[in-house]
Amino acid sequence: MNRDQLEQHQIAIYFVVVIVAAVGGLLAPQAAQGLGGLVTPAIAVLMYAMFLQIPFLQLRQGLANRRFIAALLVANFVLIPLLVWALTLGLHDQPAILLGALLVLLTPCIDYVVVFTHIGKGDARLTLAATPLLLLLQLALLPLYLTVIPSEAAVTITLGPFVEAFVLLIAIPLLLAVLTCAGARRSPGIARWNQGWAWMPVPAMATVLLVVIGSQIAFVAREIEQLLPVIPVYLGFMLLAPVVGALTARAFRLPAATARSVTFSSATRNSLVVLPLALALPEDMRMLAAAAIITQTLIELVCELIYIRVIPALVWRA
């Protein structure tokens, strides 16, 4: 199988991996729990592989695209919070689950959204260029959202998990990718290394799906009875958030690839970053809020496999 064939069959590969990870995690939960420690390294490898495919000299141009930045910010920090508020109205009598849902749905993704945008024929260069801005704004606005939506969700937000995730999952892989690309121009050995990594985005994404789903599915299954009320909220979000992103992109008259970037960003959330925030909550809320976040991750990863086929076909179909 050559690289083109690997990319053409990537969706089938991902679905098989999701099924294997879910079955393995349920049948051998103790063994699968050990995969949890591999989540961050697996995402870091995925991001490095993805960054090697991006022309870094064009990133500055991405930030200069004012219509894209405006659409991205309006979708993620005005319209999506309104959607989240409406979807979570029925959770106010379950504060732990509500808080977990708010933490994850109010924070746009800053890591593997770049990968899904690339696979889904969006402009990954623009998405990558916007990640520092998305990070800073969600740091500033998340405490405000948690204050004004429900009083039960008031919580102190620390910078640590966000900064750590940005350094480990964005900054370090990005720096290594830039150094690799620069070295490939001078060294035949580094050039061969660079070419070899062109094969890696699909296997790396499959690995992320395997470790996230395999390590967390048993935990979610144990708490499924309490988590049932939040599942329709997440399914509603996964259905409506891409529509919000696409309509915002149309309102700003964005071309197809750029509009897809806004659509993916609107629908993809920062679950792996906000999980430590849930684990830092008071003991009576901690585990259920974390389970709510993990549930969203599992649903989102499956939905992303649908997005990468549907979004390129609909936003905007020629």
**In this structure, what CATH number is given to the domain that contains residue 119?**
1.20.1530.20
In this predicted structure, what is the pLDDT of residue 62?
A: 61
Assigned token pair, 257: 């690839």
User: How far is it, in rounded angstroms, from Cα 24 to Cα 37?
Assistant: 17
Cα dihedral 250, 255, 257, 262, rounded to 10, equals -30
pLDDT along the chain (318 residues), means of 10: 72 85 88 81 86 67 82 97 94 88 91 86 88 83 82 58 76 88 87 87 86 84 89 97 97 95 95 73 79 89 90 85
In this predicted structure, what is the pLDDT of residue 59?
A: 59
In this predicted structure, what is the pLDDT of residue 256?
A: 95
- In 10 A of CB 8, how many CB atoms? 12
In this predicted structure, what is the pLDDT of residue 120?
A: 92
In this predicted structure, what is the pLDDT of residue 12?
A: 81
Helical pair 256-267 and 283-314, crossing angle rounded to 10 deg: 160
DSSP 3-state assignment of 73?
A: helix
In this predicted structure, what is the pLDDT of residue 170?
A: 76
Q: What is the pTM of this model?
A: 0.81
Expressed as residue numbers, the domain containing 280 is: 3-314
In this predicted structure, what is the pLDDT of residue 60?
A: 64
In this predicted structure, what is the pLDDT of residue 236?
A: 97
In this predicted structure, what is the pLDDT of residue 150?
A: 62
Residues 6+ apart with CB under 8 A from 310: none
In this predicted structure, what is the pLDDT of residue 155?
A: 57
Total of domains in the chain? 1
